[in-house]
Structure 1
Amino acid sequence: MDHAPRAPRRPAAPGSPPGGDERVRGAHPHAEPGAESDPDRAGGFPRPRRLPERQTVRDQVLGALRGALLSGELCPGAVYSAPALAERFGVSATPVREAMQLLAREGAVEAMPNKGFRVAERSSRDMAELAEVRALLEVPVVLRMARTLPAARWEQLRPLADATVAAAAQGDRAVYAESDRAFHRALLELSGNRQLVAVADELHRRAQWPVTEDHGCARPGAAPARGTSARLVTDATQHAALLEALAGGDLAAVESLVRGHVCGT
């Protein structure tokens, strides 16, 4: 019995499924119909969606604890239990413990087994050593930027410098501390070195904890201790002076201001 000749089978493209079943190039073998045209899907899989950023309870407690440490509500050398602090903040003890553990890594508190957390005591020597390290790190970086960056770049930091003066006028150590660190972060970010910014910011935070002998520790039920407004304003106005020296290319003034500001002289 004669058979009609069959048309020659087209060779399968390399990597195509057996049997010559050609598919649309780039299509996923398990893709759902219409997946490629769906802007929310790629290759048949949902595109990752950015989760909304929310401040966790732990972060809120951490901010409150930092403020209490700086203002004098939590006294150096005193031991505080997580349940007692949780009752103060109206939260469970878990986020308080988590926040305290982060503060322990920063050296602000020390974990006391079965007791709670003891607030670290800082001496004048501790602060002097931190200032020396900060100066070794920041002075050469700011001088290098002063030689290379145009004057207009420094003017971008003016609003942050003004904000530190406004915060200092309130006389609240915690409010000023955040504003002060924001200015220094923005300044060092102009170097383009992210690792430098992270290390310097951590050192700066440690240097902001009050010295034990000068700490205005509040009595139970008393208002938070506040720093001397005049002293904070003097510190804040150095930011504006530094920007003027940077914009004018006055390297000697830049070095003197950065070193004096970091060392508190």
Structure 2
Amino acid sequence: MRQGAQGSAVSGNQEGRRDPEGSETRPQALRVPPQGCGAEGRGAEGERGAGPGRSDSVPSARGEHTHSEVPIPRPRPLVQRASVRGQILDALRTALVTGELTPGAVYSAPALGERFGVSATPVREAMQQLALEGAVEVVPNRGFRVVERGARELAELAEVRALIEVPVMLRLARTVPSERWVSMRPLAEATVRAASTGCRATYAESDRTFHRAVLSLCGNEQLVQVTDDLHRRAQWPLVSAVRVPGRGHADLIADAAEHTALLDALIARDLDVVRSLVGEHFAGA
């Protein structure tokens, strides 16, 4: 028993000699996981590093401040790239609405990237998104062709939108309280201000925002997404509109005025006026 106790004492003394190092490395290794580092590998390294001749491993176990900083820079390029892609996508959409990108013309990602001062990668990704939206077509080994959208196709898009949106708006006119419609007046007024600028891109965004807000009251997210996609497709300009700068300014103002008139009718629950205005709105589109 004395030998066993003595053996335990010896063992305890040996552990005690490691305690000055172990008491520092082990608790620090336990703090690594909350900072996003590998707990097992670094903890084991810290224990192996305790002791003479292995002091070079100790900073690795103790340096939790550097451990917490290692993963931080890695996602930054992804965030920045996504941000650049989003900015390029917005810029390309604006160029499409204003006619700066000519219908029927083919544009390469490297050329557009040089134009925007970025690499071809975010431009190509943005163009692929526009291809999904029906704004451009992929031309193998050349780039992307801007879709030539004529009056007939725009009329067809307007008809499809009317088939979906008119019944929904009439149902909302009967069920949504007037207070909800009053709260949307700033959105309708924003379309009027956007139309007064004559900028098709500015008006296109405010126009979609107003329609999206109205339709969202139906509670059907799929319907909102489908109609928003149709609306965006309908906003690409006519081929002839590209050749006449400023064409359509009066049409924008008239279209925006219909938003405020429609909202007034919805607040007053005048279903006959709502039906007439909604029909005229899509007929004009």
Band the TM-score falls in, shorter-chain normalisation? 0.7 to 0.9
Q: 1:73 aligns with which of 96, 100, 123?
A: 100
The answer to whether 1:195 aligns with 2:222 is yes
Aligned-partner Cα distance in 1 for 2:112–2:228: 27
> Within 1, Cα distance between the matches of 2:264 and 2:122?
44
Give the residue type in structure 1 aligned to 2:268: G
| 1:197 partner amino acid | V
Answer yes or no: is 1:259 the counterpart of 2:268.
no
The CA deviation at 1:226 is: 3.9
Contact 2:136–2:145 (Cα < 8 Å) also in 1: yes
Paired residues of 2:204 and 2:235 also in contact (CA < 8 A): yes
Equivalent position of 1:90 in the other structure: 117
Q: Shift in Å at residue 252 of structure 1?
A: 1.6
- Deviation by residue 1:140-172 (Cα, 9 ceiling, x = unmatched): 001001111111110111001111111111101
- Which residue number corresponds to residue 168 of structure 1? 195
1:102-113 to 2 correspondences below 5 Å: 102-113=129-140
Equivalent in the alignment of 2:62:
none
Give yes or no for contact 2:241–2:247 (8 Å, CA) kept in 1.
no
Please show how residues 11-30 of structure 1 align to structure 2 within 5 Å.
none
Out of 148, 152, 159, the position equivalent to 1:121 is 148
List alignment gaps of at least 5 residues for structure 2: 1-28, 36-74
The question of whether the paired residues in 2 share the 8 Å contact of 1:171 and 1:227 is answered with no
Larger relative contact order (Cα-Cα within 8 Å, sequence gap ≥ 6): 1
What is the alpha-carbon distance in structure 2 between the residues aligned to residue 205 and residue 216 of structure 1? Answer: 21
Alignment correspondent of 1:206: 233
Are 1:216 and 1:226, in contact at CA under 8 Å, matched by a contact in 2? no
> What is the distance in 1 between the residues matched to 2:251 and 2:201?
14
Residue of structure 1 aligned with 2:205, choices 169, 174, 178? 178
Please say if residues 135 and 146 of structure 2, whose CA atoms lie closer than 8 Å, have aligned partners that are also in contact: yes
CA drift of 1:229 comes to: 2.6
Aligned-partner SS, 2:218: coil
Residue 259 of structure 2 corresponds to: 239
Match of 2:65 in 1: none
Contact 1:76/1:120 (<8 A) preserved: yes
Q: Helix, strand or coil for the counterpart of 1:103? A: helix
TM-score (norm 1): 0.75
Gapped regions of structure 1 (runs ≥ 5): 1-31, 41-50, 218-224
- The structural deviation recorded for 1:123 is 1.2
Quote the offset at 1:260 in angstroms: 1.5
Measure, in 1, the Cα distance between the counterparts of 2:149 and 2:171.
Answer: 32
Q: Greater Rg, structure 1 or structure 2?
A: 2
Displacement of 1:84:
0.7
Q: CA RMSD in A?
A: 2.4
Amino acid at match of 1:131: A
Displacement over 3 Å in runs of 4+ = 51-55, 225-228
- For residue 33 of structure 1, report the CA deviation from its aligned partner: 9.1
Aligned match of 1:56: 83
Q: Is the 8 A contact 2:158 2:234 kept in 1?
A: yes
Superimposed CA distance per residue, residues 226-252 of structure 1 (whole angstroms, 9 cap, x where no aligned partner): 443322111101100000111111112
Separation in structure 2 between the aligned mates of residue 229 and residue 77 of structure 1, nearest angstrom? 24
Task: Look up the match of 1:144.
Answer: 171
**Do 2:195 and 2:253's aligned partners in 1 also have CA atoms closer than 8 Å?**
yes
